[in-house]
Amino acid sequence: MAQAGTPARESAASDEVVVHIRDLCIRRGGHAIYDGADFDIRRGLITAIMGPSGSGKTTLLRLIGGQWRPDRGSVTVDGEDVPRLSQSRLYELRKRMGMMFQGGALLTDYSVFENVAFPLREHTRLPESMIRDLVLMKLQAVGLRGARALMPEELSGGMARRVAMARAIALDPMMIMYDEPFTGQDPISMGVLMRLIRRINDALGLTSIVVSHDVDEILSIADDVYIVSGGKVLDHGSAERIRNTRSERVRQFIDGAPDGPVPFHYPAADYAQDLLGGGA
Amino acid sequence: MTQTRMLETVVGLFICLGVAAIFILTLRVSNMGNLTGGSSYQVTALFQDIGGLKVGAPVTMAGVQIGRVSNIGFDQSRFEAKVTISIKSRYDQIPKDSNASIFTQGLLGEQYVSLTPGGSEKVLKNGDKIAFTQSALVLEKVIGQFLVNKASSGGK
Amino acid sequence: MNTAWRVVLDFLARVGRAQFFLLRVLAALPSLARRPGLVVQQIYSVGVLSLVIIVVSGSFVGMVLALQGYNTLVRFGAETSLGLVVGLTIVRELGPVVTALLFAGRACSAMAAEIGLMRATEQLAGMEMMAVDPVKRVIAPRFLAGVISMPLLTAIFSVMAIGIAGGYFIGVIVLGVDPGAYWSQIQSGISVWGDIFNGLFKSLVFGVAASWIAVYQGYHAEPTSEGVSRATTRTVVMASLAVLGLDFILTALMFGG
């Protein structure tokens, strides 16, 4: 693939907001996942959503994709009010969104080729020959054209994710979401995935949303970064700015410091008392 | 795509097997064969006691099934059971004064209607009534009769 | 008192959820007319693969019934009625019920496990995000395949039990009941509408109930390995109980007189 000419972040298109979220509130299982959060995802950029485990990063993707509805607030994707869409219109919107699940979520009964062909076969009436060409092109983009006959159980984790990526771009979407793409990967695999995310975003003019807590990897490819914790947006800015931030909580997260605003010790009674006191 | 062809063939075979089994059940394992097979005409007969006769019970003559009981009703004016018999059309030479009796198959079996031919030249037609009937043998009455006879003969 | 109410309300909510799910599945059925291949594939895994156990069980059940029936009837000199005993018992009761129980154990557990696993590995969510309705693509074909296969399997079971291997083999060939008597008893004693049709209708009802339970449990399984295993066992237990319960109701309605 040839390199894109101008980096997307500098063009005027980067001011256009594709996903517009305001005052997001959602509670699950008794506690608030989001309690008043705002997000602006800009077209053509890679936006990273980072935060500690359980901070609702995956929930955000589900809200954008319309799988869950917020208790309060608005979620607008490309002008459409997602929570209020009818099922058929939601499905139309989803055809323009690609999603890569953690672990790939490939269909286990189908080969790599058939997995990538799945959205094409379901949503288009293209002849088999065209579908074959498209599938091979997508697989070539992720470097797995030779693996087309393999079954998902024969793939390594990194390969499965790449196939999932190829499948996510099968319908040439306008937007693509990645749920923890780097988790549990070896360094080479991580490098491959990082490069692919950047190249696919630029070459296809996509808008990418990457949810992750792998700090170094994500900061090296993201254009725009959101740090989420405690149901709110802690910080938002370019990767450069976030890396050099002075906010204590964000600093602890970025540096991976074991103790700081998020304490090391789970709240407990005084240590000496506990040891000497006996009892449970 | 030969794997799909094989799959489809096997499934088709399965469905054919199942449907064939359903056919076997309906045609060979039931009284379907007796029900269909031509038209029939109806005659009625009045009985004092039909015992356990049921609708669908066979109607025989000389042991050969010639029809079946199609309806059982109650005649309120004469307090007798009105049994409608459906006889196959090809048996159209049954004398009008034939006798209809209710017998039991074996000792404990189902009850059926047996026609004994009379001597009349006229034959039964649709809507006719059989004049001579013999009710079912009710076991309790027979035993009661037997006990009474025994008692009276024992007394002598 | 509060927890008792909670349990009752919980139960009602679950029943309601199951109802809505059934409606969803039924609403998805017409779309299968355009993609019969999906149903065919499922009939294979649900029906064809159950053939072996059904045929073998049918034979054994028929043989046992013939043996037991003969032993009792011969005491009254009524062994010629063996055909009727075997025939009626199979067609009215054992055919539909035993087939349904075997189906619940083999096919329904497989369906629930498969769907539950797809849930646990996010394949169903993945499909949803690809704008493919998993109810139409995955659930409805399996449900329809179950409903279609049940009466067919029941008929095959009944034929095996009464005719080919079971009753006929033991009764006539081994025990020496007169073959003519065997069949004529059956043919005069079993009515098409009253017995055969009712038996097949029962199997249809069982098919709907068991398949519904299977796809529901699978679809709503917890996305963990215990969740899937729990969904599978729950399917077998609930489907079996449902079959027996429905059998009682249907028998009372049809043969209660």
Cα Dmax for chain A: 78
Is there a domain that residue B156 lies in? no
Note which residues in 80-139 of chain B have CB less than 8 A from chain C.
106, 108-109
Judge if B16 and B50 occupy the same domain: no
Find, in chain B, the residue whose alpha carbon is nearest to that of C83: B29
Residue A36: the pLDDT is 84
Q: Could you tell me if residue B152 is inside a domain?
A: no
B137 and B84 co-located in one domain? yes
Residue B130 clears pLDDT 50, i.e. is over it:
yes
B10-27 mean pLDDT: 87
Best of A59, A87, A93, A118 to mutate (most C CBs within 10 Å, chain C): A118
Q: Which of A85, A107, A178 best probes binding to C when mutated, by most C CB atoms within 10 angstroms?
A: A107
Which residues, numbered 135 to 154 in chain C, qualify as contacts with chain A under a Cβ-Cβ cut-off of 8 Å? 137
Spatial distance between the Cα atoms of A241 and A2, rounded to a whole number of angstroms: 29
Q: Are residues B48 and B68 in the same domain?
A: yes
- Does some domain include residue B75? yes
Give the pLDDT score at B38.
66
Looking at residue A4, what is its pLDDT? 43
pLDDT score, position A279? 65
Whether B12 and B50 map to the same domain: the answer is no
Cα–Cα distance measured from residue C133 to residue C173, given in angstroms and rounded to the nearest whole number:
55
Is B150 within the bounds of a domain? no
Q: Closest Cα of chain C to A222: distance in Å?
A: 24
Per cent of chain C over pLDDT 70 is 99
Please tell me the least confidently modeled range out of B8-12, B31-35, B38-42, C143-147.
Answer: B31-35
Task: Answer for the pair C175, C71: CB distance below 8 angstroms, yes or no.
Answer: no
The answer to whether residue B134 is domain-embedded is yes
Strand partners, A37: A24
Model pLDDT, residue B87: 87
Please check whether residue C82 is in contact with residue C67, taking contact to mean a CB–CB distance below 8 angstroms. Answer: no
Partner A contacted by C122 (CB < 8 A)? yes
Contact call for A and B: 3+ CB–CB distances under 8 Å? no
- Inter-chain residue contact C122 with A65, CB threshold 8 Å: no
Q: For residue A214, give both structure tokens.
A: 């792998």
Same domain, B63 and B135: yes
Handedness of CA C83, C89, C92, C98 (dihedral sign): negative
Which residue stretches of chain A have pLDDT < 50?
A: 1-13
Q: How far apart are CA B68 and CA B41, in angstroms?
A: 11
Residue type, A227: I
Say if strands A46-50 and A224-229 run parallel, antiparallel, or are unpaired: parallel
Do B11 and B61 fall within a single domain? no
C10–chain A Cβ distance below 8 A for any pair: no
Same domain, B92 and B60: yes
Q: Is residue B129 one of the residues assigned to a domain?
A: yes
Distance from C-alpha of A107 to C-alpha of A149, rounded to nearest angstrom: 14
Q: What pLDDT does A130 receive?
A: 94
- H or E stretch including B47? strand B40-47
CB atoms within 10 A of CB A172: 13
Q: Pick from C117, C122, C130: which is nearest to A119 by CB?
A: C130
* pLDDT tens digit sequence for C120-167: 999 999 999 999 999 999 999 999 999 999 999 999 999 888 877 777
Residue B79: inside a domain, yes or no? yes
Residue A1's pLDDT is what? 40
Q: How far apart are CA C65 and CA C71, in angstroms?
A: 10
Statement to judge: residues B51 and B115 lie in one domain? yes
The shortest C-alpha distance from C136 to chain A (Å) reads: 12
CB neighbours of residue C201 within 10 Å: 14
Residues B12 and B61 both lie in one domain: no
Separation of alpha carbons A170 and A134, rounded Å: 8
How many pairs of residues across A and C have Cβ atoms under 8 Å apart? 50
From CA A197, how far away is CA C39, in angstroms rounded?
38
What whole-number distance in Å separates Cα of residue C171 and Cα of residue C178?
8
Contact A139, A145 (CB under 8 A): yes
Residue A101 phi/psi, 5° resolution?
Answer: -80, 155
Chain C: residue whose CA lies nearest to B3:
C41
Give CA–CA dist C219/A246, Å, rounded. Answer: 47
- pLDDT tens for each residue of B73-82: 898 888 888 9
Which of C123, C128, C131 minimises the CB distance to A123? C131
Start-to-end Cα distance in chain C: 43
Q: Do A65 and C121 touch (CB under 8 A)?
A: no
**DSSP letter string over A203-244?**
HTT-EEEEEE--HHHHHHH-SEEEEEETTEEEEEEEHHHHHT
Residue B28: band (very low, low, confident or very high) from pLDDT cuts 50, 70, 90: confident
- Residues B53, B82 within the same domain: yes
Domain extent, residue B7, equals 1-30
State the ipTM, two decimals.
0.80
- Whether residues B79 and B122 share a domain: the answer is yes
Q: Is residue B140 part of a domain?
A: yes
Query: In this predicted model, what pLDDT tens digit does every residue of B84-126 receive, in sequence order?
Result: 888 888 888 888 888 898 888 766 667 788 888 888 888 888 8
CA distance C124 to chain B (A): 24
d(CA C236, CA B130): 59
Task: Provide the β-strand partners of residue A70.
Answer: none
Q: Which of B7, B31, B32 sits opposite C44 (nearest CB)?
A: B7
DSSP secondary structure code for residue A3 in this structure:
P
Nearest to C196 among B8, B29, B33 (CB): B29
Partner-chain residue, chosen from B11, B18, B30, that has the shortest CB–CB distance to C155: B18
Mutation pick from C34, C129, C136, C137 vs chain A, by most beta carbons of A within 10 Å, is C129
Q: Which helix (H) or strand (E) holds A116?
A: helix A112-123
Residues A133 and A105: beta-carbon distance below 8 Å: no
Residues B57, B89, single domain; the answer is yes
CB contact C131 to A (< 8 Å): yes
Chain C residues with CB under 8 Å of A179 CB are none
Count of domains for chain B: 2
- Spans of chain C below 50 pLDDT: 257
Q: Do C130 and A94 touch (CB under 8 A)?
A: yes
CB atoms within 10 A of CB A143: 14
